């Protein structure tokens, strides 16, 4: 058995403005990774769309500008290379969210897990895209993820990185995915022991619901999704925000690290760059997986057919 205990850093970052050059942002992320490593972390988790402002809030018509938000081809080369170099140099891997443009022209809201050797171990593409394809009239901020991205096509692939670094079963989700228990359960059915989720969640909700939602309620929903799914799947969960004011729009903070009981180990206190640390022992997932949530003894898949045969609710008469 390899390394089951390690120090994790959840790296919350404050807003990234539209005008900020990516090189500058990558330097900021490198500094935060170095600080995480200085404090003994061997894995740093960054949020969704960590390289740019949350551009789906705007209807952008200029294709060149749209393209400027995306990373084309191999993420380990080009503008993000210094972060890969830092990971290798410091022996501290990372999870990073970014907008991906594939060589054959597909666009996804993506994240990668990079190990302590600076190698990409796994890629995940956001499955549950919120928002709309078309802009909504009369509102200041849009939610156009369905316009700029395709639905993730990789499913929910659990993975094991190299054992000499961390010997565990991992999964990744992106922002809205955390609200969908099905995604967590598909991972948990592959034995997932820790789940990483980066988010960019707006503090009011106008773009989705055409009404202002209470910020505290939105924070509560974000926490609840992470805690309840960690408990019901007996895994650690790490949810990390890009937060604060970004181009005039407020994003919630509240990044947190949760244990397999759904209890909070660490939670952010600020609405800007802030690193949370936790000593993770993956063996803490075993008890829940062997008792309350021993799937092989207690699940009743023969009764769950609707979960995969039906999409929307069909209310009974």
**Residues marked as catalytic:** 48, 126, 175
Within 8 A by CB and 6+ apart from 193, the residues are 168, 169, 170, 235, 236, 282, 285
Report in angstroms how near the CB of residue 204 gets to ligand CDV at its nearest. Answer: 11
The Cα 122–Cα 160 span in angstroms is 9
Measured from the CB atom, is 143 or 249 closer to ligand CDV?
143
The Cα 234–Cα 238 span in angstroms is 13
Other CB atoms within 10 A of residue 170 CB: 25
List the Cα angle 172/54/107 in 5-degree steps.
60
The answer to whether 39 and 90 have CB atoms below 8 angstroms apart is: no
Report in angstroms how near the CB of residue 143 gets to ligand CDV at its nearest. Answer: 5
Residues binding ligand CDV: number (CB under 6 A): 10
Kindly list the distances between the CA atom of residue 271 and the CA atoms of 11, 186, 220, 278, in Å, as whole numbers in the listed order.
12, 32, 16, 19
Please report whether residue 135 would count as binding ligand CDV according to CB under 6 A. Answer: no
**DSSP bridge pairs for 258:** 237, 264
Report in angstroms how near the CB of residue 167 gets to ligand CDV at its nearest. Answer: 31
Q: Which of 199, 231, 236, 293 binds ligand CDV (CB under 6 A)?
A: 199
What tokens appear for 235 in the block? 């895994």
The answer to whether 255 and 277 have CB atoms below 8 angstroms apart is: no
Report in angstroms how near the CB of residue 125 gets to ligand CDV at its nearest. Answer: 13
Site string for ligand CDV, 174-193 (x = CB under 6 A): -xx--x--------------
The Cα 30–Cα 28 span in angstroms is 5
Measured from the CB atom, is 71 or 204 closer to ligand CDV?
204
**DSSP bridge pairs for 245:** 250
Measured from the CB atom, is 46 or 84 closer to ligand CDV?
46
Report in angstroms how near the CB of residue 96 gets to ligand CDV at its nearest. Answer: 16
Site string for ligand CDV, 205-244 (x = CB under 6 A): ---x------------------------------------
Q: Which stretch binds ligand CDV (CB under 6 A): 82-90, 198-206, 241-249, 278-286?
A: 198-206
Of the candidates 170, 187, 196, 284, the residue with the CA atom closest to the CA atom of residue 233: 187
Measured from the CB atom, is 36 or 206 closer to ligand CDV?
206
Site for ligand CDV, rule CB under 6 A: 130-131, 143, 175-176, 179, 199-201, 208
């Amino acid at each position: 058995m390899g390394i089951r205990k390690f120090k994790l850093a959840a790296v919350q970052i404050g807003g990234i403005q539209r005008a900020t050059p990516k090189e500058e942002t990558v330097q900021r992320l490198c500094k935060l990774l170095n600080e995480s490593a200085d404090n003994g972390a061997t894995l740093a988790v960054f949020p969704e769309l960590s390289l740019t402002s949350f551009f789906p809030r705007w209807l952008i018509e200029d294709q060149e500008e749209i393209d400027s938000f995306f990373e084309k081809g191999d993420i380990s080369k080009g503008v993000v290379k210094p972060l890969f170099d830092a990971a290798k140099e410091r022996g501290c891997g990372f999870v990073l969210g970014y907008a991906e443009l594939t060589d054959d022209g597909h666009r996804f809201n993506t994240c990668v897990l990079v190990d302590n050797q600076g190698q990409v171990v796994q890629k995940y593409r956001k499955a549950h895209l919120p928002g709309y394809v078309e802009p909504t009239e009369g509102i200041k901020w849009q939610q156009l993820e369905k316009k700029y991205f395709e639905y993730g096509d990789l499913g929910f692939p659990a993975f094991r990185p190299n054992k000499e670094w961390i010997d565990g079963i991992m999964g990744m989700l992106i922002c809205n995915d955390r609200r969908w228990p099905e995604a967590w359960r598909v991972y948990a059915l592959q034995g997932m022991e820790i789940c990483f989720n980066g988010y960019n969640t707006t503090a009011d909700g106008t773009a989705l619901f055409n009404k202002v939602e209470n910020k505290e309620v939105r924070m509560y929903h974000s926490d609840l999704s992470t805690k309840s799914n960690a408990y019901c799947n007996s895994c650690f969960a790490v949810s990390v925000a890009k937060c604060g004011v970004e181009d005039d729009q407020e994003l919630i903070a509240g990044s947190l690290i949760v244990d397999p009981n759904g209890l909070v180990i660490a939670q952010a206190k600020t609405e800007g760059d802030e690193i949370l640390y936790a000593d993770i022992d993956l063996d803490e997932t075993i008890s829940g997986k062997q008792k309350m949530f021993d799937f092989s003894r207690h699940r009743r898949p023969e009764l769950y057919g609707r979960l995969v045969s039906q999409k929307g609710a069909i209310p009974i008469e």
